[in-house]
Amino acid sequence: MSSSLVIVESPTKVKTIKKFLGPDFDVRATLGHVKDLPKSSLGIDLERDFTPSYSVIESKKKVIAEIKKAAQKAERIFLAPDPDREGEAIAWHVAEEIGGKKRQLHRALFNDLTKKTVLDAIANPLALDRSKFEAQQTRRILDRLVGYKISPLLWDKVKRGLSAGRVQSVAVRLICDREKEIGSFVSEEYWNITASLAAHMPPPFDARLVKISGKKARIGGSEEANRVLRELGEQDFTVAGVEKKELKRNPLPPFTTSKLQQEASRWLRFSAKKTMSVAQQLYEGVELGPEGSIGLITYMRTDSVRISEEAMQEVRNYIRTSYDPDFLPPKPRHFKNSASAQDAHEAIRPSSLRYRPGEIKAHMTPDQYKLYLLIWNRFVASQMSPARYDQTVIDITAGVYELRVQGSILRFSGFSEVYREGKDDNGGEGEEEMGRLLPEVAAGEVLKLTALTPEQKFTQPPPRFSEATLVRELEEKGIGRPSTYAAILATIQDREYVRMEKGRFHPTDLGMLVTELLVENFPKILDVSFTASLEDRLDRIEEGKNDRIETLKDFYAEFARELQAAAGKMKSLKGKGIPTDMVCEKCGSPMSIKWGRNGRFIACTNYPDCKNTMNLPEAGNGSAEKNGEGVPELTCEKCGRPMVLKQGRFGKFMACSGYPECKTTVKITAAGSEPASPKEEVLTDKICEQCGKPLAIKSGRYGKFLGCTGYPACKVIHPIPLDIHCPEPGCNGFLSERRSKTGKIFYGCTRYPDCKFVSWNRPLPEACPLCKAPFLVEKHTKTGTYIQCHRKECKYRSDQVGHEP
């Protein structure tokens, strides 16, 4: 009979901890939260100091029953969920369900899952932390109030199913505001001028114009650039000064949660969600052969850069034995936490340097190895010597013009031997000067001009956010906390407020619209600084410096006023929509902005008598959507009127501006455009079984198909078959590409409905090299694209199509 019970959060920890503690300990897992607020109601008593109504989650009733049964047999109970606010809430909720006067309840905190840490935590248990629990409750109540009070308004004013969130809505606002900056940005022309020069000693070098008459050089057009080139060509180029100095670059601290998410995005192309998932696996334990499951990293939700003295000595010993003496600094390096850091846990680091990445690679998945190596290298580099560079700066005068060239030579690699920080936007400043050799020159030396090179440039708008830069922005502005970033980024995409395109966040029409409504009606909730101040107040509650009830009262007093005002004044997109100054060209009635399943559009207010609609104009120009970059200017081949770019259910297309009199359309492809007229057809050698006329390849709203050339008298159609036989036994049909009603491509048998075989993966006419199945399939996942056998029981797989680096 076990005398002690240990209750953890994740079932993957159970085996590891039980191995460390032995047979006298029973280890059980809650599988996450066990209690929550009701889904069908607010669950907050506003009249009784915001008292929450928690109840056991339906799917966790069996788990709680088993834990209660195990608790009755235990003399001591250790509550050991994760060491953060959410883990503390789980510990309190479990305590409420199993607590009793005779039972000893202890809180055990594991910063990593090594034997020493687990044994120390059990030997030195703590009390439950009420302040941390109160902070979690306050956050949960705030989120519930915002979500459950604002979301119904959006259902009423826009459409059902929309949601608002205290933090997620501010994150979407950042993306929308950036999109507005990009849209309103006016690019300006400027010119860089570079002089190719030679001194009395090699090598030749290039210097850039930096000042004119003592002021920063600003050359705005080709005429001005040509004038500067003429004047420069008439000047003597003289060395005004030479500065040589040694630069030191210190290593970065070990990872915090947000920095790990940023670097994993830059180096590994991991999403924040994937990074946290893989880090959780490394923390909870990886099977290392005879040693069993070992937790390889410390707790992965932290905003601290602190490391323990024990870890400090271990990493210094590792550097001492693995690298030359110059790579180990004389004293340990201690990093300073930011003012807002909680410092509840150490930085993210390997739990022990015994487990070197290369030696245990065979026991990890590729993703686990990549992330573990990143964490290992950052931690080791943090305690290594600085990198040293020799930098030379040469200033040159030519009349009223001043030029400059810089060169940096790496003299000692130091920490950069192990780790370099990733860059967000095409590298960092100064990278082009690394390794540049400059000649020995002295002040007063006259240089020989060999060439002058003008380069036309244009100012660029601020870049859209990537996952890494959005996490950085959230962290710098104090929005949310590191442990919530992955969930925020996932939620705003799941809600379809933003989409990811080429690694950058783009707001959807829905995201822009909802953000506009929320900013107008809930300016405080959508205010970045206010959201950050709330996070600070939550931190102060956790520290025992603020009162939970007062915080909620202060928040709700103003929120209730905004809520009441918004119920009456928030614009509705149902019915008449948002008025515009446009007039319907068909009936003369005003046009308004409305919301449909494909986004915003402009519709006549005289509906249903007039059903005229058009795409939302760009920049309020009062016309149908303008042709975008890369879309050709077309004239309708039927009526000669101009074609305009429009958005349909299956993407953008060109349509005649004479619609509905002329219904000519042209679909947009990667290579440009191609006609999408129903008359476009390619004859085949197949014959219609009903009328005997040839079948032709035609285009329709769901893609290409085989249709009878006798249309409309004969309306026989067939899907276009692939050269692959249907795999169903006894079926003599072929597979063909088809499209569902929602526009998604799938592959089915040409004998449908007699044969109902379908596949979402594209068939390839190649036999499986393992089982000789007649075809393979191309499968797309979040981690990449690969080829596998269509038979589930066959394990053949090839990554030759492409995979995540």
Residue numbers annotated as active site: 299
Show contacts of 198-203: CB within 8 Å, 24+ apart. 198/447, 198/448, 198/450, 199/239, 199/439, 199/440, 199/441, 199/445, 199/447, 199/448, 200/439, 200/441, 200/445, 201/439, 201/440, 201/441, 202/439, 203/437, 203/438, 203/439
Neighbours of 38 (CB within 10 A): 12
Contact of 1 with 73, CB cutoff 8 Å: yes
Could you give the CA distance from residue 494 to residue 506 in angstroms, rounded to a whole number?
A: 13
- Token digits for 293? 């499951």
User: Shortest CA distance to 398 belongs to which of 192, 229, 203, 190?
Assistant: 229
Could you give the CA distance from residue 84 to residue 136 in angstroms, rounded to a whole number?
A: 9
Could you give the CA distance from residue 56 to residue 320 in angstroms, rounded to a whole number?
A: 53
Q: What is the 3-state secondary structure (H, E, C) of 355-421?
A: CCHHHHHHHCCHHHHHHHHHHHHHHHHHCCCCEEEEEEEEEEEECCEEEEEEEEEEEECHHHHCCCC
Helix (H) or strand (E) holding 653: strand 651-656
Neighbours of 669 (CB within 10 A): 8
Contacts of 491 (CB under 8 A, 6+ apart): 165, 168
Contact of 126 with 109, CB cutoff 8 Å: yes
**CA triplet 181, 579, 560: central angle to 5 degrees?**
75
DSSP state of 21: H
First to last CA, the chain: 50
Contact of 105 with 94, CB cutoff 8 Å: no
Could you give the CA distance from residue 716 to residue 699 in angstroms, rounded to a whole number?
A: 14
User: Shortest CA distance to 715 belongs to which of 730, 727, 700?
Assistant: 700
In DSSP terms, 507 is beta-bridged to 498
